[in-house]
Structure 1
Amino acid sequence: MIKGLYEAHLPVRDLAVSIAFYTKLGLKLAWRDGDTAFFWIVEGRSWVGLWQGAEYQTPYHPSLRHIAFEAEYEDLKRSVEWLESIQVDAVPFGRRTSVQPFVRPNQGNASVYFNDPDGNSLELICYVPVPEELRGITDKLSFEEWEKLAGGD
Structure 2
Amino acid sequence: MIKGLYEAHLPVKNLDISIEFYQKLGLKLALRYEKIAFFWIEEGKSWLGLWEGKEYRTPYHPSLRHIAFRVSYEDLKNSLKWLESLQIEAVPHGGRTTNKPFIRPNQGNASVYFNDLDGNSLELMCYVEVPDDLKHLTETLSFEDWETLIAKHSK
Deviations 1:112-135 (A, max 9, x none): 000000000000000001000000
| Cα offset, 1:38, TM superposition | 0.4
| Cα offset, 1:46, TM superposition | 0.3
Q: Distance in 1 between matches of 2:92 and 2:63?
A: 16
Q: Distance in 2 between matches of 1:148 and 1:4?
A: 33
Calculate the TM-score normalised by the size of structure 2.
0.95
Structure 1 residue 6 and structure 2 residue 6: aligned? yes
Structure 1 residue 42 and structure 2 residue 42: aligned? yes
The code of the aligned residue for 1:102 comes to F
Deviations 1:125-150 (A, max 9, x none): 00001000000000000000001111
Q: Distance in 2 between matches of 1:37 and 1:149?
A: 44
Task: Give 3-state SS (helix, strand or coil) of 2:39's partner.
Answer: strand
1:66 corresponds in structure 2 to: 66
1:51 corresponds in structure 2 to: 51
| Cα offset, 1:56, TM superposition | 5.2
The code of the aligned residue for 2:51 comes to W
Task: Give 3-state SS (helix, strand or coil) of 2:82's partner.
Answer: helix
The code of the aligned residue for 1:45 comes to K
Q: Distance in 1 between matches of 2:3 and 2:124?
A: 19
| Cα offset, 1:90, TM superposition | 0.3
Deviations 1:8-40 (A, max 9, x none): 000000001100000000000001000000000
Task: Give 3-state SS (helix, strand or coil) of 1:44's partner.
Answer: coil
| Cα offset, 1:94, TM superposition | 1.2
Tell me: CA distance 1:36–1:76, structure 2 relative to 1, closer, same or farther (3 Å). Answer: same
Calculate the TM-score normalised by the size of structure 1.
0.96
- Structure 2, unpaired ranges of 5+: none
The code of the aligned residue for 2:11 comes to P
Task: Give 3-state SS (helix, strand or coil) of 1:114's partner.
Answer: strand
Deviations 1:58-108 (A, max 9, x none): 222122100000000000000011000001100001100111100000000
The code of the aligned residue for 1:84 comes to E
RMSD: 1.2
1:107 corresponds in structure 2 to: 107
The code of the aligned residue for 2:25 comes to L
The 4+ residue runs of structure 1 with deviation greater than 6 A are none
Q: Distance in 2 between matches of 1:22 and 1:32?
A: 13
Structure 1 residue 142 and structure 2 residue 145: aligned? no
- Structure 1, unpaired ranges of 5+: none
The code of the aligned residue for 1:132 comes to D
Q: What does 1:74-113 align with in structure 2 at a 5 Å threshold?
A: 74-113=74-113
